[in-house]
Amino acid sequence: MSHARPVVKPADDPAFKLPASLSALTLPMLGGGLLLLVAGWAVGNFMGNPRVGMSAYLTGFVYCLTLATGSLFFVLIQHLVRAGWSTVVRRIAELVMMMVIPLAILFLPILLTLFFSEGMLYRWDDPQFATDNHLPALAWAEKSRWLSQGWFAVRAIIYFAVWIVLALYFFRGSTQQDETGERAVTDRLQYWSGPATMAFCGVTSFAAFDWVMSLAPMWFSTMFGVYLFAGSVLATHCMLAVAAFVLQKKGAMRDEVTVEHYHDLAKLIFGFLLFWMYIAFSQYMLIWYGNIPEETEWIYHRQLGGWGTMTVALIFLHWMLPFLGLMSMYVRRRPGIVVFWAAYVLVMHFFDLFWIIMPEAAVASELPYSVQFVGVASAVMCALGMSALLTGLVLKVASGTKVVAVRDPRLAESMAFENV
Amino acid sequence: MSETNDKKVHGIAAEYTSVDTLMDACRRVRDAGYTKTDAFAPFAVHGIDKALGIKPTKLPWIVLVCGLTGTATGLLMQIWMNGIDYPYIISGKPFISLPAFIPVAFELTILFASFGAFFGMWALNGLPKFSNPVFTDPRFDRVTDDRFVLFIDSTDSRYDRAGVEKLLGDTGSEYITTVLEDDSPSKVPKFIFTTWIVVMALSIIPLLVVLKMRVTNSPLPRFHVFYDMDFSPSKDAQQSTTLFGDARAMRPDVPGTVARGQMDLNYQTGIDVEALAKIDSPRAAMLVRALDDAEAKEEAEAAAPAAATASVMETTPWLTDNPREISMETLQKGQEQFGIYCSVCHGMNGAGNGLVNRRAQKILAATWVPPSSLHQDSLYADKYPDGKLFNTISNGIRKMPGYAGQITTENRWAIVAYVRALQKSQNASIDLVPVAKRAAIEKRKAAVDKKLAEQAAAEKKAAEESAAKAAAEKKSST
């Protein structure tokens, strides 16, 4: 369009390979991550109680899952809208979305506790739950039709099946194109991105209901799936910015990802920050206004004691601070600052999930404050451990392929992309 | 091109055939130090701002300020409307309730920011602008098609015609032209004004019709634009309705309803409930339940006659202080309520000789228990605490019914306060009255005494007369 169209390097250029300094981290990441994960669970399990240990594990699991499914969504959406700008960073998302396969294995401990130590994580799983909580028979009969062990397990299999099929299809298509450079592949992926997005949204929303919302069995919010999704997509854009930055620092795709791409990612982060707050507030306001006991319960628990302080802190730290921080275009065009905020929001995403999941463990166990601190340590270790473990796997997959979709027909367009 | 007439020069424009030559020219002109420049192209050219040295726009700041103004307007407007000017409880929320205000504040933020962006862009671009002098050259039309134009304004501080023409000539332009000020008439055509005046005149007609109708009479029935707003389907007191099974349009309170801010057991019962719980916990528990639950209330009422024996009344820890703040306002409220509810039996002065009592005495009602005079030692505060008096007003005593259903809790306490004042008034010495007012009171007292004496004399005389008359009649009949 304008001056000096950028030159697309040949597919075997070293700039598209995973830098050796990163692939060397594969084994340390896998081993260290696994150790940290187990240690985190053990801290919660033995210094707190089994529910704290499993809840911390779930926090780490959901943290990684939201990044993996968020990446899947990112890929689907880029195909759906035929986006040109994002081609240079799309491969990073394609690599991360493949983590839904190891995550299916990491889900097994949760499924096992469901069957072999009933009620340890999900209170509805406890056969005594309805009688202990004096639930009306009719209400419980309706609830337990959905919340039952077998049907829960079947649903989990369906969710993972959908994610894995979508991830494999889009990953294989893209890596295949690395070899052949066929335009038809892009057309085919575009064609399927519509139905894929619909399948993804349904599955992701129900997974949020099943795995996270059912921690408070009698509570319900139809907005909940969207709430987790908002945080998930936000965190994914942050992850892309951080990953691209690290890769560039280590020498890969230096000419491909430009300030324009950081600018665009920062715009999306900025937008999704507001979307997250918008959804969180929409959920809160309807519950607050309706003021019906079965709906207010969940929020009420998060207003007691230290949780109340965390709730207020979440608004300021997860939304207002980064929102104001990323408001200026000057900031959004400085990759260093963008990556700082992106990393910051990734931490806040953990805070958000901790705030969603851990109070349920505290409420159910009536933990003293000191044990709640164990919960923080345990959840942080689990999240770091599982993230490291999966980062190791991402590096493993990445070293067998390229870090950029090298023969994507829109690669040149993406490299030439300019915001202003 | 030479200047053949005295038209003012607006600037110099150069035409290019490709976007790259335009960009190069832009950079050279920028580097030469020109600032009042403009480039025209058939499509958006990325990077041209930089090439021309255009500074980043101030628009984001305008949008930010407008957005913040919107937030503040939204919040202040709602705080003023709902919290101060017309406090109105909605859904049991506080008057100033932040979560409820956020959606409107959010929308106004967006609205103001959008207006700021739209009109700020107009202002920064000098819009609306109906014509630009560059349009005078017919070649300029091709800039919407396949040509690119760079323009340097004659008001630029570095402008020098020969220099600019040379500079532009060096940039590879094939066509350089001097843009003259637009000399086409700038007056707005007359017909626009004519049309505008006609439209304005016509638009006054509806207003005139309304004004005329406001000052004239008409035999025709009124025209109702919104019929159901003029005739609301709402029900009046005592009417029936098909909406509810019991057909009552007036709905009773939901059982257990307590007026806002009055969920205070002591305030509701006149009893120190904590103290009661220590000596008679079942009764305290019953009182607590009665406030929550209609069934328990009935149960409590059924149990009341047995419970309220004299000994229980003696040992109950009644509140000795009126929980309402005693002010002139409270006393006036108490006086008003006493006048409405109490005085018919107890009399306006509390002496126990109200109209109902007088009538009952007159017709010699057999079951009538005369109301107590409030001015007796056993009813003074030291023997009959405020809480007990409150309880009597609320639940009744002997033949007196309870007034809890008619008089609000707040007003019952006001009556208690007023009764205390009334009792004091009957035993007050003149020394308590401010000196300035004593003379007036004494004068009034003398007048009342005199009138009473006259009345008594007249009654006595009338009685004597009637007795004499009766005696005379008796005498004549025998």
Q: For the segment A41-51, what is each residue's pLDDT rounded down to a tens digit?
A: 999 999 888 89
Residue A208 · residue A95 · CB < 8 Å? no
- In the block, tokens 């008057």 appear at B95
Q: Which residues of B touch A281 (CB under 8 A)?
A: 99, 102
Lookup: tokens for A314: 């979440």
HEC string for chain B? CCCCCCCCEEEEEEEECCHHHHHHHHHHHHHCCCCCEEEECCCCCCCHHHHHCCCCCCHHHHHHHHHHHHHHHHHHHHHHHHHHHCCCCCCCCCCCCHHHHHHHHHHHHHHHHHHHHHHHHHHHHCCCCCCCHHHHCHHHHHHHCCCEEEEEECCCCCCCHHHHHHHHHHCCCCEEEEEECCCCCCCCCHHHHHHHHHHHHHHHHHHHHHHHHHHCCCCCCCCCCCHHHHCCCCCCCCCECCCCCCCECCCCCCCCCCCCCCCCHHHHHCECHHHHHHHCHHHHHHHHHHHHCHHHHHHHHHHHHHHCCHHHHHHCCECCCCCCCCCHHHHHHHHHHHHHHHHHHHCCCCCCCCHHHHHHHHCCCCCCCCCCCCCCHHHCCCCCCHHHHHHHHHHCECCECCCCCCCCHHHHHHHHHHHHHHHHHHHCCHHHCCHHHHHHHHHHHHHHHHHHHHHHHHHHHHHHHHHHHHHHHHHHHC
pLDDT-wise least confident of A113-122, A246-255, A278-287, A362-371: A362-371
* pLDDT of amino acid B2: 45
Is the model more confident about A156 or about B184? A156
| Mutation for A interface: B18, B23, B46, B64, most A CBs within 10 A | B46
Could you tell me which chain A residue has the CA closest to the CA of B50? A420
Alpha carbon separation from A53 to A49, A147, A245, A382, B185 (Å, rounded)? 6, 22, 34, 9, 83
Give the Å distances, CA to CA, from A305 to A44, A301, A310. Answer: 21, 9, 9
User: Minimal Cα distance from A324: which residue of B?
Assistant: B64
- The answer to whether residue A281 neighbours chain B at the CB level (below 8 Å) is yes
- 3-class DSSP state of A381: helix
3-state class (DSSP) for residue A223? coil
Q: Say how far apart CA A149 and CA B31 lie, in whole Å.
A: 74
CB atoms B100 and A289 under 8 Å: yes
Give the three-state DSSP class for A249. Answer: helix
Q: Is A2 on the interface with B (CB under 8 A)?
A: yes
- How many angstroms from the chain centroid is the CA of residue A215? 18
Q: Which residues of A88-98 are buried (b: 16+ CB within 10 A; e: fewer)?
A: bbbbbbbbbbb
Confidence at residue B1, expressed as pLDDT on a 0 to 100 scale? 44
The answer to whether the CB of B324 falls within 8 A of the CB of B317 is no
A161 CB-side CA count, 13 A? 6
**A-chain residues near B110 (CB < 8 A):** none
Q: What are phi and psi for residue B178, nearest 5 degrees?
A: -90, 125
Q: What is the rounded CA–CA span in Å between residue A121 and residue A55?
A: 7
Cα three-residue angle A371-A375-A377, rounded to 5 degrees: 110
CB atoms within 10 A of CB A128: 10
Task: Report the C-alpha gap between A97 and A200 in whole angstroms.
Answer: 12
pLDDT at A234 over 90: yes
CA distance B238 to B182: 80
| A155: nearest Cα among A168, A142, A145 | A145
Record: contact A289-B47, CB cut-off 8 A: no
Measured CA to CA, the distance from residue B272 to residue B227 in angstroms comes to: 55
> Cβ contacts (< 8 Å) between A286 and chain B: which residues?
none
Q: Is A329 part of the contact surface with chain B (CB cutoff 8 Å)?
A: yes
Contact A291 B64 (CB under 8 A): no
- Per CB-CB distance under 8 Å, the chain B contacts of A329 are 56, 60
Q: Find the largest Cα–Cα distance for chain A.
A: 74
User: Which run of H or of E encompasses A292?
Assistant: none
Of A291, A327, A420, the CB nearest to B49: A420
Nearest chain B alpha carbon to A291:
B91
- For B23, the closest of A3, A328, A420 (CB atoms) is A3
Whether A338 contacts A267, CB under 8 Å:
no
Contacts of A48 (CB under 8 A, 6+ apart): A365, A367, A371, A374, A375, A378
End-to-end CA distance of chain B: 150
Q: Is A120 helix (H, G, I), strand (E, B) or coil?
A: coil
Asked if B7 and B181 touch (Cβ cutoff 8 Å), the reply is: yes
Nearest-by-CA chain A residue for B43: A1
Q: pLDDT for A173-197, tens place per residue? A: 999 999 998 899 999 999 999 999 9
Owner of token pair 């207010």: A296
Distance CA B414, CA B384 (A): 16
Contact between chains at B47 and A285 (C-beta distance less than 8 A): no
Direct distance between the N- and C-terminal alpha carbons of chain A, in angstroms, rounded to an integer: 13
Residues of B in contact with A420 (CB under 8 A): 46-47, 49
pLDDT at A3 over 50: no
User: Which residues are within 8 A (CB) of B471 and not within 5 positions of it... i.e. 6 or more apart?
Assistant: none
Pairs of residues, one from chain A and one from chain B, whose beta carbons lie less than 8 Å apart: 34
Residue carrying the six token digits 């409030």: B374
CA gap A70, A73 in Å, rounded: 5
Closest CA to B355 of B364, B365, B345: B345
- Average pLDDT estimate for A129-152: 89
- Identify residues of B whose CB sits under 8 angstroms from chain A CBs: 19-20, 23, 45-47, 49, 56, 60, 64, 91-93, 99-100, 102-103
The dihedral over CA atoms of B460, B464, B466, B469, expressed in degrees to the nearest 10, equals -170
The verdict on A292 touching B (C-beta cutoff 8 Å) is no
Residues sharing a CB contact under 8 Å with residue A319, sequence separation 6 or more, in sequence order: A273, A274, A276, A277, A280
Place of tokens 């692939």: A23
Q: Sort residue B175 into left (φ over 0), alpha (ψ -120 to 50) or beta.
A: beta
B190, B208 in Cβ contact below 8 A? Answer: no
**Closest CA relative to residue B34, chosen from B14, B17, B20:** B14
The rounded percent of chain A whose pLDDT value lies above 90 is: 73
Contact criterion met (CB < 8 Å) for B102 and A284: no
Q: Measured between CA atoms, how close is A206 to chain B, in angstroms?
A: 28
Tokens of B104: 């409107």
Nearest residue to A409 (alpha-carbon basis) of A190, A244, A233: A190
Whether residue B46 and residue A327 make contact (CB cut-off 8 A), yes or no, is no
**Which segments of chain B have a pLDDT < 50?**
1-4, 305-307
pLDDT value of position A395: 96
User: So what's the pLDDT on residue A2?
Assistant: 44
Residue A355 has pLDDT above 90, yes or no: yes
pLDDT at A407 over 50: yes
Nearest CA in chain B to A285: B99
> How far is B99 from A284, CA to CA, in rounded Å?
9
Q: Please give the Cα distance from B392 to B316 (Å, whole number).
A: 13
The pLDDT score that the predictor gives to residue A336 is: 96
- The token pair at A179 is 């070899």
CA–CA gap between residue B295 and residue B291 (Å, rounded): 10
Neighbours of A391 (CB within 10 A): 20
Give the ipTM of the model, two decimals please: 0.84
Sign of CA dihedral B464, B470, B473, B475: negative
Amino acid present at B444: R
Residue B128: per-residue pLDDT:
81
Q: Are strands B148-153 and B37-40 parallel, antiparallel or unpaired?
A: antiparallel
Taking a C-beta distance cutoff of 8 angstroms, is the pair A170, A189 a contact?
yes
CB A339 within 8 A of CB A289: no
Nearest Cα to Cα of residue A303 among A290, A294, A314, A292: A314
Q: What are phi and psi of B13, to 5 degrees?
A: -115, 145
Q: Is residue A18 classed as helix, strand or coil in its secondary structure?
A: coil
CA–CA separation, A251 vs A246, rounded Å? 9
Cross-chain residue pair A418–B49, CB shorter than 8 Å: no
Q: For chain B, what is the largest distance between any 2 Cα atoms, rounded to a whole number of angstroms? A: 152
CB-nearest to A289 from B19, B20, B91 is B91
* Amino acid symbol at B218: S
